[in-house]
């Protein structure tokens, strides 16, 4: 390499910032070899700023794109236009994108139009259903089409890419960077924040819930809320804590249904220390979040996934999660089983995290440097993330 290649890193939402943080730190650690430019679309505002503050990350460019209740066409168009302007004024040798958001997809497209190579962190996850998760399944696939270097978190993600015809020398299996992020936080400070304000510490078991998926807005989110009401009625020894996403389509439903019910605690989004502290001390997790599904096994917590299909089947295949859909009856039955049946609970709590081992960012940077040097980016035998799940068995249930 004659000069240090310049790597753009783009992110815009809470999960992208969390999962990019370890990559950004590793880029900074290898600053003798690579330069970095951090670009925030700020598709999210408060929820993104919470993450950046926790990690102490300051974007070089803030495109400040969030508007109230932004629609999909609007945010896609605005990310495409604003990223294009930024890429035109910044000489990048590569753009790193993360995951499946509109920021990731539209920034990848803008980079492709300028012939800037795209490297995709968390590539290859597939549900094979373009409507679930919506629009993320399509965002991730479209980003993959213009990607030069795919950082697949697991071997299943790699198999998905191979099945679509991606050449093996363009795929590196790294583990998911979210596991690195959890490790980084735990090294910064003990994950022992008190319960969010106003929630009594009375020894009751805590059920942690998050739900925000676009495909569940309306009736399905109402089903989820009704199931939560049933659960606190059936189980006097539980409290439910639900940090509510700021999207108004989620907030309005959840506040209206669950706002004033004993032992159901709705909170604003928690900062990452607060959220992981809660994950560490809760009894059970109910979620439709991708990141939360991947974090829970690190804390030995069983997960009930509030989705019909998942692009992250590893935890279910390893017996650590169940994909239960969004019907009121199914949610109540599955949660009741784990509240009543200590053997089923214990079986779901044990084992390694199938999504990563905390070294994903190091692998990503190693592969990226090799690639810039014109070498094969694939790491030596045994250096890639091995994981515990290696079949491509499909995990899907009908609603």
The residues annotated as belonging to the active site are 100, 122, 136, 212, 214, 245
DSSP 42: -
- Does 275 participate in binding ligand UDP (rule CB under 6 A)? yes
Please name every residue paired with 36 in a beta bridge, in sequence order, or none if there are none: 7
Nearest distance from C-beta of residue 115 to ligand UDP, angstroms: 29
* Partner from ligand UDP, ligand UD1, none contacting 45, C-beta within 5 to 8 A by type: ligand UD1
Segment interacting with ligand UDP, rule: CB under 6 A, options 13-21, 159-167, 311-319, 322-330:
13-21
Nearest distance from C-beta of residue 43 to ligand UDP, angstroms: 11
Among residues 272, 355, 372, 385, the one that binds ligand UDP under rule CB under 6 A: 272
Binding mask 153-192 for ligand UDP (x = CB under 6 A): -------------------------x--------------
Task: Check: CB of residue 368 under 8 Å from CB of residue 94.
Answer: yes
Q: In what order do the strands lie in the sheet with 94-98?
A: 61-62, 35-40, 6-11, 94-98, 118-121, 147-152, 171-173
* Alpha carbon distance 141, 13 (integer Å): 18
Q: Is 387 helix (H, G, I), strand (E, B) or coil?
A: coil
* Partner from ligand UDP, ligand UD1, none contacting 78, C-beta within 5 to 8 A by type: none
- Does 270 participate in binding ligand UDP (rule CB under 6 A)? yes
Nearest distance from C-beta of residue 212 to ligand UDP, angstroms: 6
Could you tell me which residues come within 8 angstroms of residue 68 by beta carbon, excluding any fewer than 6 positions away?
248
Could you tell me which residues come within 8 angstroms of residue 214 by beta carbon, excluding any fewer than 6 positions away?
133, 134, 135, 249
* Partner from ligand UD1, ligand UDP, none contacting 292, C-beta within 5 to 8 A by type: ligand UDP
Nearest distance from C-beta of residue 182 to ligand UDP, angstroms: 8
Q: Round the CA-based radius of gyration of the chain to a whole number and report it.
A: 20
* Partner from ligand UD1, ligand UDP, none contacting 18, C-beta within 5 to 8 A by type: ligand UDP
Residue with structure tokens 């009704």?
A: 226
Please say whether the dihedral angle defined by the alpha carbons of residues 100, 316, 297 and 233, taken in this order, is positive or negative: positive
**CA distances (Å), origin 357, targets 16, 184, 353:** 19, 12, 7
Task: Check: CB of residue 160 under 8 Å from CB of residue 125.
Answer: yes
Among residues 132, 176, 289, 298, the one that binds ligand UDP under rule CB under 6 A: 289
Among residues 14, 150, 308, 359, the one that binds ligand UDP under rule CB under 6 A: 14
User: Closer to ligand UDP at the Cβ: 275 or 385?
Assistant: 275
Q: Is 104 helix (H, G, I), strand (E, B) or coil?
A: helix
User: Phi and psi of 366, rounded to 5°?
Assistant: -60, -45
Binding mask 205-244 for ligand UDP (x = CB under 6 A): -----x-x------------------------------x-
Q: Which residues bind ligand UD1 (CB under 6 A)?
A: 13-15, 43-47, 66-70, 72, 75, 100-102, 135-136, 212, 214, 245-248
* Length of the chain counted residue by residue: 399
DSSP 279: H
* Partner from ligand UDP, ligand UD1, none contacting 68, C-beta within 5 to 8 A by type: ligand UD1
* Alpha carbon distance 368, 376 (integer Å): 10
Nearest distance from C-beta of residue 376 to ligand UDP, angstroms: 31
* Partner from ligand UDP, ligand UD1, none contacting 354, C-beta within 5 to 8 A by type: none
Could you tell me which residues come within 8 angstroms of residue 15 by beta carbon, excluding any fewer than 6 positions away?
99, 101, 178, 289, 290, 291
Nearest distance from C-beta of residue 357 to ligand UDP, angstroms: 17
* Alpha carbon distance 233, 235 (integer Å): 6
Residues in the site for ligand UDP, rule: CB under 6 A? Answer: 14-15, 18, 178, 210, 212, 243, 269-270, 272, 275, 289-292, 295
């Amino acid at each position: 390499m004659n000069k240090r290649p310049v790597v753009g890193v783009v992110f815009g939402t809470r999960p992208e910032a969390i999962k990019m943080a370890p990559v950004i730190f590793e880029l900074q650690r290898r600053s003798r070899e690579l330069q970095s430019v951090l670009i925030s679309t700020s598709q999210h505002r408060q929820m993104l700023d919470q993450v950046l503050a926790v990690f102490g990350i300051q974007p070089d460019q803030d495109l400040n794109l969030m508007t109230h209740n932004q629609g999909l066409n609007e945010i896609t168009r605005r990310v495409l236009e604003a990223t294009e302007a930024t890429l035109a004024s910044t000489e990048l040798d590569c753009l790193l994108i993360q995951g499946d958001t509109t920021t990731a997809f539209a920034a990848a497209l803008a980079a492709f139009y300028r012939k800037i190579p795209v490297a995709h962190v968390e590539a290859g996850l597939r549900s094979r259903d373009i409507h679930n998760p919506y629009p993320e399944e399509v965002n991730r696939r479209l980003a993959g089409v213009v990607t030069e270097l795919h950082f697949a978190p697991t071997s299943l993600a790699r198999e998905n890419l191979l099945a679509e015809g991606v050449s093996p020398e363009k795929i590196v299996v790294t583990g998911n960077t979210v596991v690195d992020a959890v490790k980084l936080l735990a090294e910064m400070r003990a994950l022992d924040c008190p319960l969010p304000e106003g929630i009594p510490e009375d020894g009751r078991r805590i059920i942690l819930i998050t739900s925000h998926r676009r495909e569940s807005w309306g009736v399905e989110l109402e089903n989820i809320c009704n199931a939560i009401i049933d659960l606190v009625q059936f189980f006097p020894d539980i409290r439910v804590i639900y940090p509510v996403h700021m999207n108004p389509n989620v907030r309005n439903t959840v506040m209206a249904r669950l706002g004033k019910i004993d032992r159901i605690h709705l909170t604003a989004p928690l900062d990452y220390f607060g959220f992981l502290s809660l994950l560490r001390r809760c009894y059970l997790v109910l979620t439709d979040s991708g990141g939360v599904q991947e974090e829970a096994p690190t804390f030995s917590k069983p997960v009930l996934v509030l989705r019909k299909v998942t692009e992250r089947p590893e935890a279910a295949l390893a017996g650590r999660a169940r994909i239960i859909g969004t019907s009121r009856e199914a949610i109540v039955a599955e949660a009741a089983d784990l509240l009543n049946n200590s053997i089923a609970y214990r079986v779901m709590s044990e084992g390694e995290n199938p999504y990563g081992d905390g070294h994903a960012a190091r692998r990503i940077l190693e592969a990226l440097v090799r690639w810039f040097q014109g070498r094969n980016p694939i790491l030596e035998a045994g250096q890639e993330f091995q994981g515990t799940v290696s079949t491509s068995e499909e995990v899907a249930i009908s609603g």
